[in-house]
């Protein structure tokens, strides 16, 4: 029914989060009707994504010539306070509050099974190495971050994964905390407004 380029577009874009075949089809015809200039701009924007890098410290995206992102490069941020998040969009939502001045670790989307995959374990190992490098050899008085905030979503699965992450990092922080319940149970950090997230940060425990 569709020309081959449209079928290929629908096949690729329907696999994206929250899109699906119907939305991908609408998007394809919208772009076609927008004209060649719009198609060229969209194609260039997608092609430019190839230049995006992953920060070697927190695993957020960046386009710097260095290996780390602007947040990790910022010397004014408190490296002894670390927030662990699932997704890049969660980090963006937290940054919009302008109330968090520590550093981050993006772990990747967590499974509902309550298990960490190999990449997530490697990222936690990277965090452990960062803590040991910056705060000395692991002991009762050193080798610990001041605080690790486990900012998983306030769902049953989020709570379960928070416990697993805390167990993995046991001994690497003087204090572990969760975001306060300013976010409704079952909600997601990505979609919370700045004020709600700000209150959740202030009420963390």
- Bridge-partner residues for 78, per DSSP? 102
Same domain, 149 and 173: yes
pLDDT tens-digit series, residues 69-86:
999 999 999 999 999 999
Q: Looking at the predicted structure, is the pLDDT value of residue 194 above 80?
A: no
Asked whether residue 145 is domain-assigned, the answer is yes
Looking at the fold, whether 102 and 169 belong to one and the same domain comes out as: yes
Residues 137 and 177 in one domain: yes
**Confidence band, pLDDT 50/70/90 cuts, at residue 185:** low
- CATH code, 12: 1.10.8.420
- The mean pLDDT of the chain is 87
What are the CB-based long-range contacts (under 8 Å, 24+) for 139-146?
143/171, 143/172, 144/171, 144/172, 144/173, 144/174, 145/80, 145/81, 145/82, 145/172, 145/173, 145/174, 146/78, 146/80, 146/81, 146/173, 146/174, 146/175
* Confidence band of 138 (pLDDT split at 50, 70, 90): very low
Q: Are residues 197 and 134 in the same domain?
A: yes
Q: Are residues 173 and 98 in the same domain?
A: yes
**CA atoms 54, 56, 57, 63: torsion sign:** negative
Q: Are 16 and 85 found together in one domain?
A: no
B/e letters for 35-64, b = 16+ CB within 10 Å, e = fewer, are: eeeeeeeeeeeeeeeeeeeebebbbbebee
What's the structural domain count of the chain? 2
Residue 137 has pLDDT above 60, yes or no: no
One domain for residues 40 and 107: no
Please give the average per-residue pLDDT across 103-131, as a whole number: 92
Radius of gyration over every alpha carbon of the chain, rounded to an integer in angstroms: 20
The domain that holds 119 is classified in CATH as: 3.40.1360.10
Pair (26, 76) in one structural domain? no
**Is residue 121 in some structural domain?**
yes
Q: Which domain holds residue 111?
A: 61-202
* Per-residue model confidence as pLDDT tens digits over 7-51: 999 999 999 888 999 999 999 999 999 999 999 999 999 899 888
The proportion of the chain whose per-residue pLDDT surpasses 90, expressed as a percent, equals 60
In a domain, 56, yes or no: no
**Model-wide pTM > 0.95:** no
Q: Is the domain of 30 the same as that of 79?
A: no
Per the listing, tokens 């070697």 go with 56
Q: Identify whether residues 195 and 103 lie together within a single domain.
A: yes
């Amino acid at each position: 029914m569709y020309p081959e380029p449209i079928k290929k577009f629908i096949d690729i874009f329907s696999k994206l989060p929250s899109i699906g075949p119907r939305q991908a089809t609408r998007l394809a015809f919208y772009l076609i009707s927008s004209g060649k200039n719009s198609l060229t701009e969209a194609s260039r924007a997608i092609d430019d994504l190839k230049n995006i890098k992953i920060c070697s410290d927190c695993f957020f995206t960046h386009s710097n010539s260095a290996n780390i992102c602007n947040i990790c490069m910022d010397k004014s941020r408190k490296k002894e306070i670390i927030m662990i998040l699932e997704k890049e969009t969660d980090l963006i939502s937290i940054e919009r509050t302008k109330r968090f001045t520590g550093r981050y670790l993006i772990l990747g989307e967590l499974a509902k099974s309550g298990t960490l995959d190999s990449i997530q374990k490697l990222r936690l190992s990277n965090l452990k190495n960062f803590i040991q490098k910056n705060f000395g050899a692991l002991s009762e008085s050193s080798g610990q971050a001041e605080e690790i905030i486990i900012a998983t979503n306030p769902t049953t699965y989020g709570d379960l994964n928070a416990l697993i992450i805390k167990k993995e990092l046991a001994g690497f922080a003087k204090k572990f905390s969760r975001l306060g319940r300013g976010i409704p149970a079952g909600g997601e950090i990505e979609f919370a407004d700045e004020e709600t997230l700000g209150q959740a940060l202030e009420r963390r425990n």
